């Protein structure tokens, strides 16, 4: 048996982009799990305020060149990579000139939420899964952080469920405090539909609110991590009613608990068979 493979999908990570506590956990947790024997890959967007020269990003030609289709439009996907020498970890960055080459992350200089944040999210989620396929690297556990990765669980349980890269992957989703108060574009859910999907698959996501994105991610994930102390009551009720395996917030301070949680999630079906 080779090493177990653990994929992190996040919109922020220290030292590249630090917007919230997500950036801390996505920096510390992968290294801790690597030290426990996991093989790690990390994917995040290459937002325009990430300094390429300082962080020594460079394009991975063999992974670049794909097109991600959104609303019948082809959007080129460029993959860049950077290393964290102290941790011997590589981080893959998904780039697209139209979606990510901006001075600000989720809103303009006046703080106004970008109208195309829905498409940027869809691009990132689709692009992340296509990148992992192209890597030829089949993760045992996929851990998603933040609202921008909320479509990944839905895609994995529908379009990609029989894909050789993902058919045995388990999905863990971390929920944090609401990141935004706005609402995504009204036709967001319709745009998000991929092959082998229909409107019922994106019903939970349809309102386009932060809580709705979490509701959709909860529905399709195998395990949930409560990543913040203060989480919206509606979201907590969703978690409770989902009957999924849950890692409580008071367990997250000890990274050893994540290792045990991944192990529990990865072996759930085996336990049921026995």
Q: pLDDT per residue over 121-133, tens digit each?
A: 999 999 999 999 9
The mean pLDDT value for 160-181 works out to: 93
Give the Å distances, CA to CA, from 190 to 113, 121, 124, 202.
20, 13, 16, 8
Does any domain span residue 250?
A: yes
Which residues form the domain of 41? 7-273
Does any domain span residue 175?
A: yes
Report whether pLDDT(55) > 70.
yes
**CA angle (110 as vertex; 79, 115 as ends), nearest 5:** 55
Q: Cα–Cα distance between 188 and 213 in angstroms, integer?
A: 11
The mean pLDDT value for 190-195 works out to: 94
H or E element in which residue 84 lies: strand 73-84
pTM, 2 dp = 0.95
Does any domain span residue 96?
A: yes
What percent of the chain has pLDDT above 70? 97
* Domain CATH code at residue 105: 3.40.50.2000
- Token pair 């409107």 in the structure block, residue: 199
Does any domain span residue 156?
A: yes
How far out from the chain centre does Cα 163 lie? 18
Does any domain span residue 2?
A: no
Asked if 231 contacts 246 with a C-beta cutoff of 8 angstroms, the reply is no
Token pair belonging to 79: 């993959």
pLDDT given for residue 88 in this prediction: 85
pLDDT digits 0-9 by tens, 111-157:
899 999 999 999 999 999 999 999 999 999 999 999 999 999 999 99
pLDDT digits 0-9 by tens, 207-248:
999 999 999 999 999 999 999 998 989 999 999 999 999 999
Does any domain span residue 1?
A: no
Asked if 127 contacts 135 with a C-beta cutoff of 8 angstroms, the reply is no
Number of folded domains that form the chain: 1
Q: Cα–Cα distance between 31 and 144 in angstroms, integer?
A: 16
Does any domain span residue 148?
A: yes
Nearest to 22 by CA among 2, 49, 42, 52: 42
pLDDT digits 0-9 by tens, 57-105:
999 998 988 999 998 899 999 999 999 878 888 999 999 999 998 989 9
pLDDT given for residue 205 in this prediction: 96
Does any domain span residue 32?
A: yes
């Amino acid at each position: 048996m080779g090493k177990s493979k653990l994929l992190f999908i996040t919109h922020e990570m220290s030292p590249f982009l630090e917007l919230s506590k997500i950036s801390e956990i996505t920096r510390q947790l992968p290294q801790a799990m690597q030290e426990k024997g996991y093989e790690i890959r990390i994917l995040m967007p290459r937002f325009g305020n990430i300094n390429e020269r300082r962080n020594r990003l460079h394009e991975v030609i063999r992974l670049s060149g794909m097109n991600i289709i959104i609303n019948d439009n082809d959007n080129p996907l460029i993959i860049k990579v950077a290393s964290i020498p102290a941790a011997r970890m590589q981080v893959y960055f998904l780039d697209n000139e139209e979606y990510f080459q901006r001075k600000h992350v989720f809103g303009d200089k006046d703080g106004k939420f970008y109208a195309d944040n829905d498409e940027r999210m869809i691009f990132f989620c689709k692009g992340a899964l296509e990148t992992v396929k192209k890597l030829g690297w089949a993760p045992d556990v996929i851990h998603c952080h933040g609202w921008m990765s909320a479509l990944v669980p839905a895609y994995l349980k529908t379009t990609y469920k029989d894909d050789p890269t993902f058919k045995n992957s388990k999905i863990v989703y971390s929920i944090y405090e609401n990141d935004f108060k706005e609402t995504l574009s009204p036709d967001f859910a319709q745009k998000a539909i991929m092959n082998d999907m229909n409107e019922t698959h994106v019903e939970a996501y349809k309102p386009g609110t932060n809580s709705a994105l979490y509701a959709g991610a909860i529905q399709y994930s195998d395990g949930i991590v409560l990543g913040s102390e203060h989480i919206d009551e509606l979201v907590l009720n969703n978690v409770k009613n989902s009957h999924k395996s849950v890692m409580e917030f008071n367990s997250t301070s000890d990274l050893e608990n994540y290792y045990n949680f991944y192990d529990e999630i990865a072996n759930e079906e085996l336990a049921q068979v026995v």
